[in-house]
Amino acid sequence: MERFDGRVVALTGAASGVGRATAIRLAGEGARVAGLDIDEPGLAETAELAGGMATIRCDVARRDDCHAAIEQVVADHGRLDVFGNIAGIARSHHVPDVTEQDWDRMVAVNLSGVFWCAQAAIPHLLATEGVLLNIASNAGLIGQAYTVPYCATKGAVVNMTRALAMEYAKTGLRVNAIAPGGVQTPLVANYQMPDDVDYTLMAGYMGFRAMSQPEDIDGRLRLVPTTAPGPAGTVPDVDHPYVLGVDLDGVCGDYTTAFRTVAATELGVDEDRLPLERSWDFREWGLTPEEYERIHLLAVAEHRILRTMPVIDGAAEALWRLSDAGVWLRIITHRLYVNWSHAIAIADTVEWLDHHRIPYRDICFLGTKPEVEADLYLDDGPHNVEALRATGNRVVVFEAPYNRHLPGPRALDWSECEHLILVDAAEQGFSLQTQLPGLEPGTNRLPN
Coil/strand/helix, residue 191: coil
Nearest to ligand NAD of 63, 334 (CB atom):
63
Nearest to ligand NAD of 42, 130 (CB atom):
42
H or E element at residue 149: helix 148-167
Cα–Cα distances in angstroms (integers) from residue 249 to residues 310, 312, 359, 405, in the given order: 10, 10, 16, 19
Per-residue HEC secondary structure of 347-374 comes to HHHHHHHHHCCCCCCEEEECCCHHHCCC
User: What is the nearest approach in angstroms of ligand NAD to the Cβ of residue 23?
Assistant: 11
Phi, psi (deg, nearest 5) at residue 332: -130, 115
> Is residue 249 annotated as part of the catalytic site, yes or no?
yes
User: What is the nearest approach in angstroms of ligand NAD to the Cβ of residue 12?
Assistant: 5
Nearest to ligand NAD of 135, 325 (CB atom):
135
- Footprint on this chain of ligand NAD (rule: CB under 6 A): 12-13, 15-19, 37-39, 42, 58-61, 86-90, 109, 135, 137, 180, 182-183, 185-188
User: What is the nearest approach in angstroms of ligand NAD to the Cβ of residue 93?
Assistant: 16
Calpha distance 148→93 (Å, rounded): 8
Chain length of the chain: 448
Biggest distance spanned by C-alpha atoms of the chain: 84
> Is residue 247 annotated as part of the catalytic site, yes or no?
yes
Nearest to ligand NAD of 54, 60 (CB atom):
60
Catalytic residue among 37, 39, 65, 247: 247
Nearest to ligand NAD of 18, 299 (CB atom):
18
Catalytic residue among 239, 249, 375, 380: 249
Calpha distance 304→207 (Å, rounded): 41
Phi, psi (deg, nearest 5) at residue 34: -115, 125
Calpha distance 434→448 (Å, rounded): 23
* Residues assigned a catalytic role: 247, 249
